Structure 1
Amino acid sequence: MKIKGIFFDVDGTLVCHDKGRISENTLKALYALKEKGIRLFLATARHITELKELQIDFPFDGYVLLNGQLCLNAQKQILLANPIEGHDQKQLASLFSTCAFPMVLVERDRLYINTVTPQVIQAQTAISSKVPPVSSYNNDPFYQCTAFIDEEQAHRLSQTLEDCTITRWNPYGVDIISAQGGKFKGIQAMLAYYDIDVSETMSFGDGQNDMEMLQYTKVGVAMQNADPVVCQVADFVTKSAGEDGIVYALKKYKLI
């Protein structure tokens, strides 16, 4: 099996939040893959500014950001941009402005929240991130919305949206993106740009927003710390992020 491109989720996959960073063993493995000519990509719900906060400065070949809504090449040039539009944009902007519940709007160059609660602080702490600054919506395009709501609220919200999907990443938090997007859409754009066939790909993830990615790539690897439903769709379940699960799987597949 020839692997030419590997996609990595960040939270709970590349970064173990007990440590708050990429481990030295995982970094060594990434550089070893680069030396073999394998293209390496991030595929995350994160914004590019958050990667700096997490001190992720490895030279990736591309960035599938905001669950595939905004994709950048190695030089941070846009390959794909898919903002939330129409009815759903208006609905989410209205909920944000009225502070119906805590919400983060994610634009190309900034992300900001409408109000802060203890649940917001707890959720952000769990992913080693600061709470975004409080600000108001100024009618610029946004690519993702993060809502800090429970399951019942998420269900009610889903009934009001026409063309968005909701995926949970924390007991308190969900990501909302256009139904036309998703990590696998971003991966398709990245593969076309670098002329890599999907049969030559591998991916690592742990959250429900990684499931399509794990199923789409040739080899999908779930972390041991992944949600049980994620493990069910993976080709292989490796050790946890805290146990250098990426390194373990790469050795199993004889890539390092």
Structure 2
Amino acid sequence: MIFVKYKLIALDIDGTIRNTENPVSIRTIKIIKDLVELGVHIVIATGRTFKSAKNILDGIYGIKYIVPFQGAQVVDLKNGSIKWHSPLNPIMLNSALNELDDYSGFQIMVNCNGHVFVSDLTDEMVSYGNRNNLDIKYIDNLRDLALENPDRIVVLGDACKIQKLESHLQSKFKNYLYITRSLPYFCEILHPNSGKDKGLAWLCEKLKIKKSETIAFGNGYNDLQMIKWVEMGVAVKNSVPEIINVANKLAPSIENDGVASVLEEFMELGYFK
């Protein structure tokens, strides 16, 4: 039997290789190093900002690229240079903010130029910034960022209300905007050409890697398109049902080093060059 030789592995961070109780394990760090030394590209695809993701990846060998902001960018990890960017244009930003004006009870943030901007600097926002090592900045009107190439809008709120908001915005904007949830209480609004799958597609073209040579691991709603796009989509145990339903394989939980165990299995089967 001839096996595909996988050349690129995309890893989500939160809920996939770490969570609040379990940092990235030594076993995961080791298999990443072993694969990099075989010539495999390990790419981080995350909803986190570049700065936040970079802090978590400190000390992990061989990762060259991050796809942060739900796939709005592809960034060189070593020097922080943005290699690809799909920001919201002014009409998109204003259309989304106008729609959100009809809602109350939500916190709204805009990621732009490495900062997080809010027009209501609440204690919750300050605490969120401190927990995630983010620079939270106050701006009187978020629409003033329209010409600054904003990465995304993030809406925070009650999980049930966020789910309803996501459904409404997807129905309202259809393919005009990319709407997703990273966590049950986060709804994110991006350019339709954003998404982890879009960032990976651009990077694969740059690296001359075929779609058939890709693997991705994920667990959340925002991983859905990425898991569907790659050749081998792997859902970590306790993923949302939507991910499990489309994945090619189910990995053990984070607590049981799910990602590392699957990659070790694939290595033993000769799936890497």
TM normalised by structure 1 equals: 0.86
Is 1:231 aligned to residue 239 of structure 2?
no
| Residue 52 (structure 2) aligns with | 50
Long gaps (5+) in structure 2:
none
What secondary structure sits across from 1:199 in the alignment?
helix
Cα distance in 2 for residues equivalent to 1:79 and 1:238 = 31
| Residue 175 (structure 1) aligns with | 188
My pick for the range that moved more, 73-82 or 171-180, is: 73-82
Q: 1:118 to 1:30 in 2, by over 3 A?
A: same
| Residue 154 (structure 1) aligns with | 166
Aligned residues: 252
Long gaps (5+) in structure 1:
none
Instruction: Please say if residues 167 and 175 of structure 1, whose CA atoms lie closer than 8 Å, have aligned partners that are also in contact.
Output: yes
| Residue 6 (structure 1) aligns with | 9
Cα distance in 1 for residues equivalent to 2:178 and 2:75 = 22
Cα distance in 2 for residues equivalent to 1:201 and 1:155 = 30
Q: 1:252 to 1:11 in 2, by over 3 A?
A: same
1:89-148 CA deviation, whole Å, 9 max, x = no partner?
Answer: 1134557899952012111322233446798799x59xx635762511442221111111
Is 1:243 aligned to residue 256 of structure 2?
yes
Matches within 5 A, 1:114-193: 114-115=119-120, 129=132, 133-136=136-139, 137=142, 138-139=144-145, 140-149=148-157, 150=161, 151-161=163-173, 163-193=176-206
Instruction: Please say if residues 217 and 227 of structure 2, whose CA atoms lie closer than 8 Å, have aligned partners that are also in contact.
Output: yes
Which amino acid in the other structure matches residue 175 of structure 1? E
Instruction: Please say if residues 121 and 138 of structure 2, whose CA atoms lie closer than 8 Å, have aligned partners that are also in contact.
Output: no
What secondary structure sits across from 1:181 in the alignment?
coil
Q: Select which of 6, 28, 31 maps to 1:29.
A: 31
| Residue 80 (structure 1) aligns with | 84
Larger radius of gyration: 2
TM normalised by structure 2 equals: 0.81
Identity, in percent, stands at 22
1:197-238 CA deviation, whole Å, 9 max, x = no partner?
Answer: 111111110111111111211111110021011011111000
What CA RMSD, in Å, does the superposition of the two structures yield over aligned residues? 2.9
